[in-house]
A and B are shown apart, each in its own frame.
Chain A
Amino acid sequence: MVGDEHVSMIPAAHTKVWNSEVNGQPQEVLAPSNAVLLDVLRDKVGCLGVKRGCDMGTCGCCAVMVDGQPRLSCLTMAQDVQGSTITTVEGLADGAHLAPIQQCFAEHGGSQCGFCTPGFLISSQALLDKNPNPTDAEISTAIEGNLCRCTGYQQIIQSIQAAAEIHRGDASPAKPASSAHSDPHPSGPN
């Protein structure tokens, strides 16, 4: 920060035990009592997929689900969500298998540089959990708090619509373009 104003940082706030369920696992960490959820998740729990973009709730990169609701973790005091169930981008996949929303973002160009992607995934998954049949306008409303500088949002909306189709059961997930581990030794034409 620039200027003379300074809020004394030391002594730091006393630490408190913080516990919640993060991505299906109980977590118990020591964190400063005034810590925001973003810092606890990144620095204490180790969920580095949660991104810090602006520190003031304007970019949406830090969105996580708290008890199923999308929240900006940079504006959420960790102590306020003590004991809740938190899902970050790392918890969206079904084990080793990508969730439809993840697969569709990758396939439809919903992610370019990828920094805003975790926040978008959380916002859109929260939407699809409630509404598997969203209109483009409803999608826009759901992701209006997320800034993306690369895609111009259009391919993000397409990704979410594609995932919604899978959620509704209208479409089966696209097969990968080629097998992930092709044998380099194929036989000739059959």
Chain B
Amino acid sequence: MTDGYVQQPGSNTDVRVDGKRVAGKIKFNPPGSGGSRPEMADRDMDFIPEVEGGNESQPAGQHLHDKYRTGTSVGKRTPLVDGNAKVTGQAWYGDDVRLPNEIIGRIVRSPHHYAKVKSIDTSKAEALPGVLAVSTGADAPQRFGVLPVTKDEHAMAVEKVRHVGDLVACVAAIDEPTAREAAALIEVEYEVLDAVHDPKKGLLDVDDPIHWRGQYHIGSTNVQKRVFQEFGDRSKLEQARATHHGKWKFMGVNHGFTEPHAVVAHWDSNGRLQLYTPQQVPHYAHRALATVLDVPMHQVNVIRTFVGGGFGGKSDPFPHEMCAAILARKAGRPVRITFDREEVFWVNRGRHPSHIEVQMFADEDARISGFEIDALIDGGGFASFGHVTSYYNGVLATAPYELGSFHYTGARVWTNKPASGAMRGHGAVNTRCAIEVGMDDLAEKLQVDPIDLRLANLLPPHSKTITGFRITSNGMRQALERVREGSQWDSKFRKLPLGKGIGIGCGFFISGSGLPIHWDPNKFPHATVHIQIDMDGGVTVHTGAADIGQGSTTAIAQVVAEVLALPLEMIHVRSHESDTSPVDLGSYSSRVTFMNANAAISAALEIREQLVDAASGILDMPAEYLILNDRRIYSKRDPAIGVSYLEALHKSQEDKGALIASGAYRTPPMGGVHKGAAAGLAPAYSFSAYVAEVDVDVETGLIKCTDVWAAHDCGKALNPLAVEGQIIGSCHMGLGQVLSEQMVYGRTGHLQNPNLLDYKIPSVHEMPNVTPIIIESCDPEGPFGAKEAGEGPLLPILPAVVNAVYDAIGIRINDLPLTPDKVWAAIAKKMKREDIAEAQDLPTPRLDFSELQQKIVQRSSQHGGRDSRRQRSEDTDPYINGVLFGFDPTVPPEDQDGDWKIAVRPTSEQLEGLGLAGSAWTKIEQRKMEDGK
């Protein structure tokens, strides 16, 4: 260990008294003195695009940011800039914030599923020595919720408790034992109400719905949101050559982040609230805190600690954050509340338990003539992000395939369970699993290869989906081709012996939500970034982007470093405090890289312009002759003619001091005009295709996923190391849902496994060997071409595994997770039905191609040419969903065909035939009832 491991440069030989090595002193080198790296490095031509004269190939065409590439950082495998804090234990998470004089808060939770709170007696708790504050719902009557349209939460129960674990009261005391004891001394009198646990029962009229929405309430049911969407021509469905019908049940799953929620609230000496919380979305927490505490937003400073995993589970404003602030205000001392793992399950916000029914149709040319989806999702006790989830379960199934028609009915119901919410792959995961398995089944019925069936039905780049989403870059085709090749699909599919199987699945996800949650008339940007450079040359980047481990801080630092051609170590990202960070909407809907990095680039470009102008003045040379590289600005023709970055900086600082620039990002206008058109809109979409190989033990039903080839189109990998990490991590989380994870509610509706022993997250032994494959389709609007890589990669793993299980044992199971008991029951059932004595004699599916196979291979090869042309083209012709069915791409299909429909409400004739979730439409809203209520 002679060199390396240098935390700070300097002596490697000096040792401390304990024999360990001492950090070296940092030498400060006056300008021009040389320093630790006195000479400029060569331009790294491997990371400069072809069009700019470099060696980086651009199969997907040019990008408007190409001319700002300096070969410094973008595209290089970059360790996280906060990695050293994490490996040394210095990263400070929620519970690591220890303020002087702190006291400990505990929350009193409901033991009942559903009850009226008749009275709360806090006197015994208050009398306990060491108790400094007690609070109940009466202290915070204001409602809040992450979505402004569904504010249905309180800091603590005001009238009713809605699930076991719902907050009733809270206490703060000098230490944890006293706080726990005080919590136990709070006496609550409940009147227990009839609880609803089965989401199907949530569709029925009841005496006492879990929430009451006044004139907008749907009947007297527990339906929180219902959606109906119909697009295209359904009249052709009857002539389908192949149909698929799948009825699915998905259990709820929890994010399972390793850091339990924790919060520290402190009202400082000026009476401002300083709230430390591991939040993915500090801005919405900021808004909700101001509302509930009845203080202006500028009197609240939300400090995001390091976040020990989010995955959507730390994106709501939480009642315990309010509780900590209320207790701290009452006690006059900082209050820290840390959850037990059990409490994490009570606050939940995990993926919705769902009943999903899909019907899919393919016509005589193996085109997809229609998707019909019905999704009933179990929202638990609160709305959370559910309004959006209700849409996403349908609309995110409208790509990557070109559809003849699309019909979706969705409903989200309140039940007396911990609330469901947003979780990685928000709303898209379960439906995606159902339709990708449906594609596999359609391929089987058409007797074609499922990858070829997909390749022959893809929407091209720069096209519009049937619901009007604007697709820009699209690497779906390359993703499918790469996994087919990597997995040696053609020599394995339907050819493996019993118990071994291979399966394919695709994914499609938004890269940032097109509209902000707070639909703002003032047209605030989605992301704002400030850059500040003082005379020392260090670049301070202020952003509100919440790094939750995905590496957003690193990505922001990288793009700024790239534009300014500075080493990453000179970029300092400050993103923790709302006092200093400009508003960023937070880490959800896979928006951070796309939106925040775009904002950072625009701020950096402003700085770049000032530096280049200054250099141009010093050198007396036009700005367009200058290039930036490694801390210098110099002539393109002769690198010796130039100035250092610091010289240019000091020149441009004359008379004004620090350079400051602000950049912002807003989405372009897009989307249709129908109700719900905004849900699922995004400035770009990611695409992915996975092939999974499994071993199924036919004697026990145990499934082991052995290999995954995972191709994901992220536009451009700013940091391939992080993108691969996201892909592999997504496989892990998706495998959990498909093989082992479930929130088990017993017969009485009680959650039986609120701990990490019974809630089975895959360990290292369950992980397959994942081969991540990065597809770069160069998104025209993304930062340097990048799109999301955090959520989309989760989607394909579920159907890939389910399809692989079918390939292995010839049985489709539509009930996740595929635990051994379910798999074995399905095997036993099949053996009984087909009179098979030994499991080893189960037949495995085999494939004989029909005449269609050749037809679709031909079509997909034609489309391949079309797609590569469209991908590169600078201004592409219009392409709307429907061209495959003979429509003219320049005219909306509804104007070409009288049978082409766009509807967002069912007609009265349709009401009878709707599915489970669709039946929510048979109820009438209160305001439309004659007598009212």
Contacts and interface: CB of A to CB of B under 8 A. Distances in A.
Contact of B36 (A93, A116, A181): A181
A157 B769 CA distance: 11
A115 B309 contact: yes
B79 interface: yes
Interface in B174-198: 175-178, 180-181, 184
B37 A183 contact: yes
A49 interface: yes
Interface stretch (B152-160, B468-476, B564-572): B564-572
Contacts of A54: 341, 755-757
Chain B contact patch, size range: 35 or more
B755 A186 contact: no
B646 interface: yes
Nearest to B166: A2
A113 B551 CA distance: 8
Given A151-B725, A151-B729, A1 B340 contact: yes
A53 B343 CA distance: 12
Nearest to A57: B757
A151 B18 contact: no
A158 to B, nearest CB: 10
B89 A149 contact: no
22 contacts: A2-B109, A9-B178, A53-B341, A88-B89, A94-B1, A95-B15, A102-B87, A111-B83, A111-B86, A114-B87, A115-B257, A143-B764, A147-B756, A151-B725, A154-B769, A180-B7, A181-B569, A182-B35, A184-B570, A184-B646, A185-B33, A186-B631
Interface string B544-574: 0000111100000000000000111110000
B926 interface: no
Nearest to A155: B725
Given A48-B92, A59-B258, A88-B89, A149 B83 contact: no
B379 interface: no
Interface of A: 1-4, 6, 8-10, 12, 24-25, 47-56, 58-59, 61, 88-90, 92-100, 102-103, 105-109, 111-118, 121, 140, 143-144, 146-157, 166, 172-190
A29 B742 CA distance: 42
B78 interface: yes
Contact of B729 (A3, A88, A150): A150
B770 interface: yes
Nearest to A111: B86
A95 B21 contact: yes
Interface in B1-47: 1-9, 12, 15-16, 18, 20-24, 26-27, 29, 31-40, 42
Instruction: Identify the interface centre among A55, A56, A151, A178: most chain B CB within 10 Å of its CB.
Output: A178
A52 B176 CA distance: 15
Nearest to A50: B89
B764 A56 contact: no
Contact of B567 (A112, A173, A179): A179
Contacts of B310: 113
A189 B641 CA distance: 10
B23 A95 contact: yes
Nearest to A118: B89
Nearest to A96: B23
Contacts of A184: 31, 536-537, 566, 570, 631, 644-646, 649
Contact of B733 (A10, A24, A149, A154): A149
Nearest to B755: A56
A186 B78 contact: no
Contacts of A8: 181
A150 B313 CA distance: 13
B590 to A, nearest CB: 15
A54 B309 CA distance: 14
B309 A189 contact: no
The 7 closest A-B pairs by CB, nearest first: A49-B89, A183-B35, A113-B549, A114-B86, A115-B308, A173-B4, A96-B23
Interface stretch (B477-485, B506-514, B632-640): B632-640
B5 A2 contact: no
Contacts of A172: 2-4
Instruction: Identify the interface centre among A95, A116, A146: most chain B CB within 10 Å of its CB.
Output: A95
A187 B549 contact: no
Contact of B568 (A6, A92, A178): A178
Nearest to B40: A186
B80 interface: yes
Contacts of A114: 82-83, 85-87, 91, 306, 308, 549
Contacts of B269: none
A106 B36 contact: no
Contacts of B96: 48
Given A54-B756, A95-B15, A184-B644, A176 B6 contact: yes
Contacts, number: 330
Nearest to A173: B4
Contacts of B87: 89, 98, 102-103, 105-106, 111, 114, 117, 121
Given A176-B6, A185-B647, 20 more contacts: A52-B338, A56-B757, A59-B258, A93-B20, A93-B88, A106-B83, A108-B79, A108-B721, A113-B306, A114-B306, A147-B756, A151-B725, A152-B767, A154-B770, A155-B724, A172-B2, A177-B568, A184-B649, A185-B35, A188-B634
Contacts of A106: 79-80, 83-84, 86-87
B781 interface: no
B57 to A, nearest CB: 23
Interface of B: 1-9, 12, 15-16, 18, 20-24, 26-27, 29, 31-40, 42, 76, 78-80, 82-93, 95-96, 98, 109-111, 128, 164-165, 175-178, 180-181, 184, 255-260, 306-311, 338, 340-342, 346, 536-537, 548-551, 566-570, 630-632, 634, 639-640, 642, 644-647, 649, 721-722, 724-725, 728-733, 755-757, 761, 763-765, 767, 769-770
B726 to A, nearest CB: 8
A92 B88 CA distance: 8
Contacts of B181: 8-10
Contacts of B642: 188
Contacts of B8: 96, 180-181
Contacts of A182: 35-37, 567, 569-570, 631
A189 B639 contact: yes
A148 B342 CA distance: 18
Contact of A115 (B2, B31, B258, B342): B258
B639 A150 contact: no
Given A144-B764, A182-B631, A113 B728 contact: no
A187 B110 CA distance: 68
Given A155-B724, A174-B4, A185 B32 contact: yes
Contacts of B550: 112
Instruction: Identify the interface centre among A140, A178, A182, A185: most chain B CB within 10 Å of its CB.
Output: A185
A172 B2 CA distance: 9
Given A95-B23, A185-B645, A49 B90 contact: yes
Contacts of A47: 89
A61 B33 CA distance: 47
Nearest to A140: B764
Contacts of A93: 7, 20, 88
A182 B27 CA distance: 10
Given A49-B88, A52-B95, A109 B79 contact: yes
Given A9-B178, A106-B79, A147 B7 contact: no
B6 A4 contact: no
A86 B821 CA distance: 43
A8 B180 CA distance: 9
Contacts of B639: 188-189
Contacts of B3: 172-173, 175
Contacts of A146: 764
Contact of B89 (A48, A155, A178, A189): A48
